[in-house]
Amino acid sequence: MPDNQHVFDRYLRQDKLPHIWCPGCGNGIVINALVHAIARTDVDPDTIVVVSGIGCSSRANGYTNFCALHTNHGRALPYATGVKMFNPKLKVIVVTGDGDCTSIGGNHFIHACRRNIDLTTIVFNNSNYGMTGGQFSPTTPSGSRTKTSVYGNIDTPFDICSLAEAAGATYVARSTVYHVNLLIRELAEAIEHPGFSVVEAVCDCPTLFGRLNKMGSGADMLLSYKEKAVVKQQAEKMDAAALKDKLIIGTFVERTDREEYTKQYASLIKRAKGGN
Amino acid sequence: MMEETYEIMTGNEACTHAAIAAGMRFFAGYPITPATEIAELSSALLPKAGGKFMQMEDELASIAAVIGASCAGAKAMTATSGPGYSLMQENLGYAVVAEVPLVIAYAMRQGPCQGVATLPAQGDIMQVRWGVHGDHPVIAVAPDSVSEVYTETIRAFNLAETYRTPVVILTDAMLAHMSERIRIPRRSEYECVDRKRPTCAPADYKPFADDGTGIPPMASFGDGYRWYCSGLIHDETGFPVADDPQLITDDIKRLMGKVDNHIADIESYEEYQTAGADLLVVSIGLLSRSVKDAVDQARRQGIKVGLFRPVTVWPFPENRMAALSRQVRQIFVCEMNEGQLYHVVRESAGTTPVQQITQNNGKMIAAETILAAIKGEN
């Protein structure tokens, strides 16, 4: 396709639009950021495979015009691992949600981080299970109302980025659907990072989580991200009291000291064929 | 004359060597008794063959990685036993619906639950048929010897590639671990089937369109075709369809038809001493060798008994079963469980009485026990 086409025409399946998401949902903004990020890299689109699980965010690869593997709930990462492991020339991107990735897929998530295989994982974090109607997820803030926490959520949420860092991911970043340019930059860095990368995209679910917690419209929720977000460099100069209820955005981890998994396996094949 | 190659190996070793001979280049698994040696040997042999081995975090991830690798073009396998197979069900269902070729080596152990991990059983015959939720086709082969593990493993890969569907190699803890001297088949003696690939222009590719055979050509990720693969009921482009009764019907019927319409190619069974028999024992896998022993002993005593051994447990060879049922006056079903194949045999047995010979204690059933049952002595 000609390069002068708009990125949406190049990288979105126009015949599948409009999407199924609710008015005001942040998921579309994350896809927008993803295709712009891909356009910034020199990745051959025919080598891209977008793998997803189950949930609202996992429908994203139906709209992007690349190879797509829409898998079972929580399982996107191990499917993606098999794709990448067998053919390391592929650029494998995982689109997943907070429930898909950190609840039912939580074990796969920490092991993918540990393994450091070259996958780019985008976690659409909207703080609840949207597709099933707004139940609490592992990232729902304590005290929040959802369909299964009508008296206030007593669970303690995961910090996805801290979890990824502790488990060994070699690129970890967060942005929000308000901070789109930052999100695009982080996604482009993540795609080019030679190892397991995680980008948490904080996004709004005005129909469920927002409505149940009286957070206003989608636009209101986006503005709340503007107010809550503090970039990492600035946060480092603030004390705990000032950071209370703030959302730190930016790149938390970017390391290249651990060799990527498929590269290690290529060395292993050489050793095995060498007979030792 | 070309020299023959004989080797002594276990069922698990034969499975691994045969898989690589059949073209397996990706294995992902999780340690579990009594299938672990397949993972161990794969980890050693696959890199030498230019293939990839992965030990995953659990069985859900193992079969998921196998499906991913298969979509990227690999002939891929995992190996497990009952508890692991239970965990694999959701992704196995995915492979059925998304039509992803793969092979599962399944060494049965005594169950249910953790059961007795080191002892053989045949308690998972029905789990292999119906473990996945929803109606779906299944192919499962049950070899009776280390030698047949080798040949049936090759056939399992060929069936998976031909019909774009998962195939199970069903053994048990005894066959998995016992050693036998086997002849390694020469490469010229067997075929290695590769899945049918699309030949159309990428823009025209519809990954789930029936080309008249019922089995759509399958592209690999990265070879220029941009396709969408989903576990939802989908149209011929692969995209989900929520409310189209005709399409849902057609989709399921085509999936079922991949096996139902190719029974002659898929089905296989062995008959032993069935000519002129008026009694018949039905048995699968390693246990059928005890039955053969019992049949030999019975024949020497003038009892006209034969063995019917389905090699494809699924699809169960029901037409031949029905024909044999009309020939004999009594059928016995010998199996190491509380009675699973028994119900399947009864479906094909017409009015011929069907009697169970079961033992579910981790021990193979002795020929003497079977003989006594045939003679009505117990």
Q: What pLDDT score does A1 carry? A: 46
Q: What pLDDT score does A2 carry? A: 54
Residue with tokens 């048929």: B129
Q: Is the pLDDT of residue B240 over 70?
A: yes
- Listed residues B189, B221, B248: the one ending a domain: B189
Taking the Cβ of residue A267 and every Cβ of chain B, the question of whether any pair is shorter than 8 Å is answered with no
Give dist(CA B62, CA A75) in Å, integer: 10
Are the CB atoms for A90 and B71 separated by under 8 Å?
no
Q: Which of A61, A51, A63, A58 is nearest to A15 (CA)?
A: A63
Q: Is the pLDDT of residue B259 over 80?
A: yes
Put simply, the answer to whether B68 touches A83 (Cβ < 8 Å) is yes
Token digits of residue A138: 């592992």
Any residues with CB less than 8 A from the CB of B233 and at least 6 apart, and which? B97, B240, B241, B247, B248, B251, B252
CATH fold for the domain made of A7-274: Rossmann fold (3.40.50)
Q: How far does the CA of residue B176 sit from the closest CA of chain A (Å)? A: 26
Three-class SS state of B292: helix
Are the CB atoms for B367 and B293 separated by under 8 Å?
yes
- Listed residues B168, B189, B210: the one ending a domain: B189
B201-to-A15, A226, B119, B210, B236 alpha-carbon distances in Å: 19, 47, 53, 16, 16
Token digits of residue A122: 């985008």
Q: What is the mean pLDDT of residues A78-88?
A: 98
- State chain B's mean pLDDT as an integer: 97
Which chain B positions have a beta carbon within 8 Å of A70's beta carbon?
Answer: 228-232
Three-class SS state of B217: coil
Q: What is the mean pLDDT of residues A255-274?
A: 96
Q: What pLDDT score does A3 carry? A: 63
**Cα three-residue angle B83-B87-B91, rounded to 5 degrees:** 145
| B159 & B46 share domain | yes
Which of A46, A49, A272 is the closest to B47 by Cβ? A272
Q: How far does the CA of residue A254 sit from the closest CA of chain B (Å)? A: 25
Which of B44, B61, B69 is the closest to A108 by Cβ? B61
Per-residue pLDDT tens for A130-172? 999 999 999 999 999 999 999 999 999 999 999 999 999 999 9
In this structure, what CATH number is given to the domain that contains residue B76? 3.40.50.970
Are the CB atoms for A167 and A114 separated by under 8 Å?
yes
Are the CB atoms for B28 and B58 separated by under 8 Å?
no
B65-to-A58, A249, B56, B119 alpha-carbon distances in Å: 18, 32, 8, 29
| Interface ipTM | 0.97
Which of A66, A79, A269 is the closest to B226 by Cβ? A66
B5-to-A207, B178, B181, B189 alpha-carbon distances in Å: 68, 19, 10, 13
Give dist(CA B215, CA B309) in Å, integer: 29
- Domain tally, chain B: 2
Taking the Cβ of residue A266 and every Cβ of chain B, the question of whether any pair is shorter than 8 Å is answered with no
For residue A171, give the H/E element and its range: strand A171-176
Three-class SS state of A105: coil
- Whole-number CA gyration radius for chain B: 21
Q: Is the pLDDT of residue B266 over 80?
A: yes
Q: Is the pLDDT of residue B236 over 50?
A: yes
Domain presence at residue B154 = yes
Q: Is the pLDDT of residue B2 over 80?
A: no
Are the CB atoms for B184 and B165 separated by under 8 Å?
no
- Listed residues B127, B161, B189: the one ending a domain: B189
Per-residue pLDDT tens for A7-28? 999 999 999 999 999 999 999 9
Which chain B positions have a beta carbon within 8 Å of A268's beta carbon?
Answer: 47
For chains A and B, what is the number of CB pairs under 8 angstroms? Answer: 135
Taking the Cβ of residue A60 and every Cβ of chain B, the question of whether any pair is shorter than 8 Å is answered with no
| B163 & B298 share domain | no
The residue segments making up the domain with residue B30 are 5-189
| B177 & B278 share domain | no
Q: How far does the CA of residue B56 sit from the closest CA of chain A (Å)? A: 8
- Count the Cβ atoms, other than its own, within 10 Å of residue B128: 22
List residues in chain B touching A: CB distance below 8 A: 25-26, 28, 44, 47-48, 50, 52, 54, 56-58, 60-62, 64-74, 76, 90-91, 94, 220-222, 224-232, 239-240
In this structure, what CATH number is given to the domain that contains residue B297? 3.40.50.920
Respond yes or no on whether the N-terminal peptide bond of residue A23 is cis (omega within 30° of 0). Answer: no
| B183 & B60 share domain | yes
The pTM for the full model equals 0.98
Domain presence at residue B291 = yes
Q: Is the pLDDT of residue A275 over 80?
A: no
- State chain A's mean pLDDT as an integer: 97
Domain presence at residue B217 = no
Which of B25, B57, B226 is the closest to A67 by Cβ? B226
Per-residue pLDDT tens for B148-197? 999 999 999 999 999 999 999 999 999 999 999 999 999 999 999 999 99
Give dist(CA B363, CA B119) in Å, integer: 7
Per-residue pLDDT tens for A215-254? 999 999 999 999 999 999 999 999 999 999 999 999 999 9
Q: How far does the CA of residue A262 sit from the closest CA of chain B (Å)? A: 10
Domain presence at residue B229 = no
Which of B28, B48, B239 is the closest to A82 by Cβ? B28
Nearest CA in chain B to A88: B72
Which of A84, A111, A272 is the closest to B57 by Cβ? A111
Q: What is the mean pLDDT of residues B25-47?
A: 98
Q: What pLDDT score does B3 carry? A: 85
Put simply, the answer to whether B69 touches A85 (Cβ < 8 Å) is yes
Domain presence at residue B63 = yes
Domain presence at residue B194 = no
Burial string for B158-177 (b: 16+ CB within 10 Å, else e) reads: bbbbbbbbbbbbbbbbbbbb
Query: Reduced to 3 DSSP states, what percent helix, strand and coil does chain A have, rounded to the nearest 5?
Result: 45, 20, 35
Domain presence at residue B329 = yes
Are the CB atoms for A258 and A116 separated by under 8 Å?
yes
Q: What pLDDT score does B378 carry? A: 64
**Cα three-residue angle A82-B130-B259, rounded to 5 degrees:** 75
Domain presence at residue B27 = yes
